[in-house]
Structure 1
Amino acid sequence: MYFRLIRNDIVKSKVITFTTMIFVAAASMLVSLAAILIVNLTGALDALMTKAEAPHFMQMHAGEIDRNRLHSFAEENDKVEEYQIVEFLGMDGSQISLGYNSLANSVQDNGLSIQNEQFDYLLDLNGNIINVSDGEIYVPVAYMRDNTTKVGEIAVISGKEFTVAGFLRDSTMNSSLSASKRFLVSNQDYAELKDLGDLEYLIEFRLNDFSKIGEFESEYASAGLEANGPTVTYTLFKMMNAISDGMMIAVILLISALVVAIAFMSIRFTLLAKIEDDYREIGVMKAIGLRLSDIKKIYMAKYVSIAAVGSILGFILSLLLKGKLLENIRLYMGESENASYALVLGIIGILIVFLAIVAYVNFVLKKFRKISAAQAIRFGTSQEKKASAKRFSLNQNRWFNTNIFLGIKDVLARKGLYTTMLIVLVIASFIIIVPQNLYNTISSKGFIQYMGIGGYDLRIQTNNSDKTDEIVNAIEHDNSVSKYAVMTTKTFKVKTNNGTEENIKVELGDHSVFPIEYAEGRAPVRDDEIAFSSINAEEMGKKVGDIITLLSEGNEKALTVTGIYSDVTNGGKTAKAVFSDSSANIMWTIICVKLSDISLVDSKVSAYSDEFDFAKTSDIDEFVSQTLGSTISAVEMASYSAIAVALVITILVTLLFMKMLIAKDRYSIALLKALGFSNSDIKVQYYSRSFFVLIVGIVLGTLLANTLGEVFAGLLISSFGASSFDFMVNPIQAYLLSPLMMAVMVLFATMFGTSNAGQTKISEHIKE
């Protein structure tokens, strides 16, 4: 019996049934996708870090190194399980050609390495430790992703030819957020090129207990060991590897939560519409003594079937789409060892959605208790009480056409009825605007000021402090330069709260020339002030106003923390100050340059690169693009997907709502026709209702997107170092294109949904 009832009802209301099923499928698909992607990302990341045996602590160092002292420290420290010193032979990008492409414009510190013997292995795309032969070179997977080179092509490094034998995964330098990239060559080839590059060292440790990494860092710093370079830990390696796909998954999670909420509202629409259609029949069933549970079973059977089919369809769609979304994860990290668990978790997610829908349908069907059998048989529709809208009366109307006025008045009189549609449109606006604002924010030039980088045009970095004056002299005599700043990074020791010492990298210079955004406080302007990156401040337990003790020129120097800022460079662990110090070793110097004519950037990059071959000259836009490029691409894909989802939602929800409204208003429509209103008049009234709700929805959605949405986006962006930021809104997109697209969708759905409004017969719906 139930099967026959379901079949007949589906045949009678194909559009509504199909629309409801699509909503359930979309919600199930997104929940399943999010679950599958999360499990695959975490599993692939863990597999990469495990197979490569990534170091727990890495200290990069440029300069002389005392191997015996390091060996003694490692032997005597009971926290150390393994340690090694890895050589990294830095090569200027102009000396590296991959196929037909030069790396002259690469902002990465590209260098050669040999395969490690103890841990921190470089892996091929099958997850195996690479054994490289003479004449072969393995290239970082990032250069495969951007189509710089292919297997079998010729690579030329400082005049020596290699064959690209494959691509490598590097647990420590995979991410674009990492400033360095390792190329793998054989021991013999490395020895031949060793005198042609700049030698740096990666001092790496694996600990017996990673939970004691903080204590180990303090012990390393207190021992006064080599520290002329960034310090990175296992946790930061994992974060940098996961950030691009992690942000995409986070956006999908946000969208899926909102779509699930909309799916519930849509089911409520269809149920209410169906109840309105069957109102007299429900009254008859109650009048003849049919139990309430039996009446509910008839409706439950249909919606359980729709939920089941929609959930299965959603799971199938998630399986079809997961391959595309997993491409980046598989390329950079390999296959997840938890792939089977991902499918199980995806199924569990869909089951939760299914059971939630069934429970919600059962809750909505409690409305049957309020249906009076006598009124249902007499009127054939619910007799809702309308709120009075006396202040909005027709005889006082001077602004609107009569039909438009009556449409708006109906919305104001039945606020509760239209609230659900309003909420859906607010959520749809939210889904469109928040991912777009997030993408616009992280892809804009101004975003770098939230990442520890000022608003300049050129970045010239050199490790040769003796030639800094040569660069500065050239810049001062360049008429196209409007202003510049010299920022020198040095390593200092600071005393922690528990009395131990830690190494910190402090950027010294005038920070007012190219100011950055501060999450808290301000930039340092006096010799006794310092600002910390958010990661440094968190690890050291410092906040604005605190005092730190820094060792400078053999003396203790008390500095007040004036500000906390975000930073994506050097592992996110930096500090800024203005004091002078001649004792600490210079790690590197960055000359920041602002040009009077932005169109000269390319030519100046080329000119300075040729003139100062000992330095790395970068267009700051290119620097940001190469550093955050994969993250920006992931968020861009998610934002465009969000637009598509939101527009489809807008069409379907408006269609469902109009169908429900027409069913509910049959008596009112018949009365209007009896009073002389034409079919077109009635349609205009419904159009005005839709657009009035749409306008309010878009306004509220935009406000929420730029307030609450900014908070959500801030949580995502803070995961890679930006602790505070403001949305950078594209006004044309947010305030013109997005509302226009939604308006077109609402108009289309309203036209289709009200197409049969004029077919209501007066004789059938006005009984008295």
Structure 2
Amino acid sequence: MYFRIIRNDILRSKVITLTTMIFVSAAAMLVSLAAILIINLSGALDTLMTQAKTPHFMQMHSGEIDTARLKSFAEQHKNVEEYQVVEFLGMDGSEIILGDHSLSNSVQDNGFSVQNEKFDYLLDLNGNIINVSDGELYVPVTYMKEKTTSIGEKAIINGKEFTVAGFLRDSTMNSSLSASKRFLVSSNDFAEIKDLGSIEYLIEFRLKDFSEIGEFETAYASAGLEANGPSVTYTLFKTMNAISDGMMIAVILLVSALVVTIAFMCIRFTLLAKIEDDYREIGVMKAIGLRISDIKKIYLAKYASLAAAGSILGFIFSLMFQGMLLENIRLYMGEDENTSLAVSVGLIGILLVFISIVAFVNVVLNRFRKISAAQAIRFGSSQEMKPGAKHFSLSNNNLFTTNIFLGIKDVLARKKLYATSLVVLIISAFIMIVPQNLYNTISSKSFIQYMGIGDYDLRIQTSSSAKTDDIVTLIDSDSDISRYAVLTTKTFKLKTSNESEENIKVELGDHSAFPIEYSEGSAPSRDNEIALSTINADELNKKVGDVITMVIEGKEKDLTVSGIYSDVTNGGKTAKAVFIDNSAKAMWTIVCVELYNKSLVESKVSGFSNKFDFAKTSDIDEFVSQTLGSTISSIEMASYASIVVALVITVLVTLLFMKMLVAKDRYSIVIMKAIGFTISDIRAQYFSRSVFVLIVGIFLGTLLANTLGEVLAGVLISSFGASSFNFNVNPITAYLLSPLMMIFAVLISTMIGTSGTGKIKISENIKG
């Protein structure tokens, strides 16, 4: 019996049934996709870092190294499981030619290593430890994605020829946020090219108990061991590897939660519309003594079937689309060993969607208890009182035509009814605008100011402090340069609360020339002030106004924390100050340059690179693009998908809502026809209702997107270092194109949804 009822009902209301199925399928697909992607990302990342045996602690160091002292420290520290010193041969990008492409424009610190013996293995694309032969070169996987080279091509490294034998995954340097990239060569080839570049050391440790990493870092610093470079921990390696795909998954999660909410509203719409259509039949069933529970079963059977079919379709679609979304994860991290677990979790998500829909329908069907059998049989529809809008009278109207006035008045009179449509439009505007704003923010040049980097044109970095003066001399004589700043990073000892010592890297110079954004406080302006990166402030448990003690030129000095900022460079553990120090050796110096004419950036990069082969000169736009490119690409894809989702939601929900209103207002429509209103008058009233609700929805949705949306986006951004930021909004897309697309969608949907008003006959709806 139920099958026959469901079949006949579907045949009578194909549009409503199809629309409901689309929403349920979309909600189920997004929930399943998010679950599958989360499990795959987590599993693939764990597999990569387990296979590679990622270091728990890595200290990069340039300069002289005392391996005997390091070995003694490792042997005496009870928590050290394994230890090794890895040589990293840095080389200028112009000396690396892969096929037809030079890496001269690469902002990465490209270098060469041999395969490690104990841990931190470089893996092939099958997850195996690479055994490289003489003459072979394994290239970081990022250059495979960028199609810089392919297997079998020739590579020229400072004049020596190699053959690209394959691509490698590097659990410590895979991420675009990592400033360095490792190429793999054989021991013999490494020995041949060792004198052609500069050696940097990667001092690596695996611990017995990683939970004590803080104590280990303190012990390392207190021992006064090599620390002329950034230090990175296992947790940060994991975060950097997960960021790009994690951001995309987070956006999908946000959109899926909103679509699920809208799916419930859509079901409520269709259910209420169906109840309106069947109002007289429901009254008859109640009049002949049919129990409420029996009537509910008829509707539950239909919606349970729709929910089941929609959930199954959603799951199938999620399996179809997962390959495209998993492509980046599989390239950089490989396959998850627990693929079946991801599918199982996706199925659990689908099951939860199905159960929630059935439970929700059951709650909505409790409205049957409020239906009067006598009224339903007599009128064939619910007879609502229309309170509200008492002060909005036609006699006082001087702004609108009669039809527009009556449309707006109906919205104000039945606020509760229109509130559902309003909420859906607010959510649609939110879904459309937030990912766009997030993409515009991350892709804008100004975003680097939230990442610990100032807004300038050229970045010249060198570890040769003696030759920095040569750079400054040339810049001073260059009439194309409007201003510049020299920032030198040095390592100092920091006294902690328990009287032990830690190393802290401090960037010295004029921080007002190219300011960054501070989440709290401001840049240091006096020699007794210091600003801390978010990670340093958290680890030291310091806030603005607190005092830290540092050893400067052999003497202890108290410095007040003036500000806290975000940083993606050098492991995120930095500080900024303006005091003068002549004792500590410079780790590196960055010369920040601003040009009068931005079109000269490319030629200046080329010119400075040729003149200063000991330094790395980068276009700051290219620096940001290569550093955040993968993340920007993921968010861009999510933003375009969100626009499509929002427009589809707007069209379908408006269509359903208009059909529901027409069914609900049959009695009112025939009254208006009887007193002389034409079909075009009635439709104009419905158009004015839609547009009025839409305008309010767009306004509130935009407001919500720029407040709550900014907070939610801030949570995502903080995952890779930016503790505080403001949306960079493109007003043309956010405030013009997006609203216009929604208005067009609503008008088209209203036109289709109200087409049935002409078919409502006076004789069939007014009974004596």
TM band (smaller chain): over 0.9
Give deviations 1:153-192, integer Å, cap 9, x for gaps. Answer: 1111100011100000000000000000000000000000
Equivalent runs, 1:40-79 vs 2, <5 Å: 40-79=40-79
Counterpart for residue 7 of structure 1 = 7
Between the aligned partners of 2:680 and 2:268, the Cα distance in structure 1 is 28
Q: How many residues align?
A: 768
Counterpart for residue 488 of structure 1 = 488
Counterpart for residue 119 of structure 1 = 119
Counterpart for residue 283 of structure 1 = 283
Between the aligned partners of 2:612 and 2:328, the Cα distance in structure 1 is 36
1:716 aligns with 2:716: yes
Counterpart for residue 567 of structure 1 = 567
Counterpart for residue 414 of structure 1 = 414
Aligned residues of 1:682 and 1:758 also touching (Cα < 8 A): no
In the TM superposition, residue 388 of structure 1 has moved relative to its aligned partner by 3.0
Between the aligned partners of 1:117 and 1:390, the Cα distance in structure 2 is 83
In the TM superposition, residue 387 of structure 1 has moved relative to its aligned partner by 1.4
1:497 aligns with 2:492: no
Between the aligned partners of 2:337 and 2:709, the Cα distance in structure 1 is 34
Equivalent runs, 1:639-650 vs 2, <5 Å: 639-650=639-650
Counterpart for residue 585 of structure 1 = 585
Give deviations 1:237-277, integer Å, cap 9, x for gaps. Answer: 00000000000000000000000000000000000000000
1:522 aligns with 2:517: no
Letter in 2 for 1:315: F
2:172 counterpart SS class: coil
In the TM superposition, residue 44 of structure 1 has moved relative to its aligned partner by 0.2
Between the aligned partners of 2:155 and 2:350, the Cα distance in structure 1 is 49
Letter in 1 for 2:650: T
Between the aligned partners of 1:744 and 1:337, the Cα distance in structure 2 is 47
Moved over 2 A (4+): none
1:379 aligns with 2:385: no
Between the aligned partners of 1:759 and 1:110, the Cα distance in structure 2 is 72
1:170 counterpart SS class: coil
Letter in 1 for 2:217: E
In the TM superposition, residue 498 of structure 1 has moved relative to its aligned partner by 2.2
1:213 aligns with 2:213: yes
1:657 aligns with 2:648: no
Letter in 2 for 1:750: T
2:755 counterpart SS class: coil
Equivalent runs, 1:257-406 vs 2, <5 Å: 257-406=257-406
Percent identity reads: 76
Between the aligned partners of 2:539 and 2:651, the Cα distance in structure 1 is 49
Between the aligned partners of 2:179 and 2:504, the Cα distance in structure 1 is 18
Give deviations 1:65-112, integer Å, cap 9, x for gaps. Answer: 000000000000001000000000000000001111100010000000
Between the aligned partners of 2:479 and 2:135, the Cα distance in structure 1 is 47
Counterpart for residue 204 of structure 1 = 204
2:530 counterpart SS class: strand
Aligned residues of 1:488 and 1:589 also touching (Cα < 8 A): yes
Counterpart for residue 705 of structure 1 = 705
Between the aligned partners of 1:385 and 1:176, the Cα distance in structure 2 is 62
Aligned residues of 1:111 and 1:180 also touching (Cα < 8 A): yes
In the TM superposition, residue 496 of structure 1 has moved relative to its aligned partner by 1.6
In the TM superposition, residue 571 of structure 1 has moved relative to its aligned partner by 1.1
Between the aligned partners of 1:551 and 1:333, the Cα distance in structure 2 is 42
Between the aligned partners of 2:672 and 2:653, the Cα distance in structure 1 is 26
Q: TM-score, normalised by structure 1?
A: 1.00
Between the aligned partners of 1:709 and 1:455, the Cα distance in structure 2 is 25
Letter in 2 for 1:5: I
Between the aligned partners of 1:182 and 1:499, the Cα distance in structure 2 is 38
Q: TM-score, normalised by structure 2?
A: 1.00
In the TM superposition, residue 398 of structure 1 has moved relative to its aligned partner by 1.0
1:559 counterpart SS class: strand
Counterpart for residue 616 of structure 2 = 616
Cα RMSD (Å) of the superposition? 0.6
Aligned residues of 1:39 and 1:342 also touching (Cα < 8 A): yes
Between the aligned partners of 1:569 and 1:650, the Cα distance in structure 2 is 42
In the TM superposition, residue 668 of structure 1 has moved relative to its aligned partner by 0.5
Give deviations 1:722-762, integer Å, cap 9, x for gaps. Answer: 00000000000000000001111111111111111111001
Give deviations 1:374-407, integer Å, cap 9, x for gaps. Answer: 1111111001121132211111111111111111
Between the aligned partners of 2:699 and 2:629, the Cα distance in structure 1 is 32
Letter in 2 for 1:103: L
In the TM superposition, residue 583 of structure 1 has moved relative to its aligned partner by 1.3
Letter in 2 for 1:301: A
Aligned residues of 1:55 and 1:233 also touching (Cα < 8 A): yes
2:719 counterpart SS class: helix
Letter in 2 for 1:543: K
Letter in 2 for 1:166: G
Between the aligned partners of 1:553 and 1:596, the Cα distance in structure 2 is 39
Between the aligned partners of 1:491 and 1:51, the Cα distance in structure 2 is 34
Unaligned runs of 5+ in 1: none
Give deviations 1:624-655, integer Å, cap 9, x for gaps. Answer: 00000000001111111111111100000001
Give deviations 1:338-378, integer Å, cap 9, x for gaps. Answer: 21110000000010000000000000000000001011111
Between the aligned partners of 1:99 and 1:748, the Cα distance in structure 2 is 53
Between the aligned partners of 2:20 and 2:500, the Cα distance in structure 1 is 63
In the TM superposition, residue 434 of structure 1 has moved relative to its aligned partner by 0.4
In the TM superposition, residue 557 of structure 1 has moved relative to its aligned partner by 1.2
Between the aligned partners of 1:501 and 1:145, the Cα distance in structure 2 is 43
Between the aligned partners of 2:450 and 2:476, the Cα distance in structure 1 is 28
Counterpart for residue 182 of structure 1 = 182
Letter in 2 for 1:148: T
1:247 aligns with 2:234: no
Between the aligned partners of 2:198 and 2:387, the Cα distance in structure 1 is 79
Aligned residues of 1:492 and 1:584 also touching (Cα < 8 A): yes
Counterpart for residue 427 of structure 2 = 427
Counterpart for residue 454 of structure 1 = 454
Give deviations 1:260-310, integer Å, cap 9, x for gaps. Answer: 000000000000000000000000000000000000000000000000000
Between the aligned partners of 1:764 and 1:500, the Cα distance in structure 2 is 90
Between the aligned partners of 2:162 and 2:556, the Cα distance in structure 1 is 52
2:767 counterpart SS class: coil
Between the aligned partners of 2:504 and 2:473, the Cα distance in structure 1 is 30
Letter in 1 for 2:594: K
Letter in 2 for 1:172: T
1:104 aligns with 2:143: no
1:514 counterpart SS class: coil
Aligned residues of 1:508 and 1:578 also touching (Cα < 8 A): yes
Letter in 1 for 2:255: I
Between the aligned partners of 2:398 and 2:54, the Cα distance in structure 1 is 74
1:136 aligns with 2:136: yes
Counterpart for residue 148 of structure 2 = 148
Moved more, 382-391 or 167-176: 382-391
Counterpart for residue 634 of structure 1 = 634
In the TM superposition, residue 499 of structure 1 has moved relative to its aligned partner by 2.0
Counterpart for residue 753 of structure 2 = 753
Letter in 2 for 1:467: K
1:625 aligns with 2:625: yes
Counterpart for residue 85 of structure 1 = 85
2:249 counterpart SS class: helix
Between the aligned partners of 1:727 and 1:172, the Cα distance in structure 2 is 31
1:677 aligns with 2:677: yes
Counterpart for residue 604 of structure 1 = 604
In the TM superposition, residue 504 of structure 1 has moved relative to its aligned partner by 1.2
Letter in 2 for 1:153: E
Letter in 1 for 2:116: N
Counterpart for residue 29 of structure 2 = 29
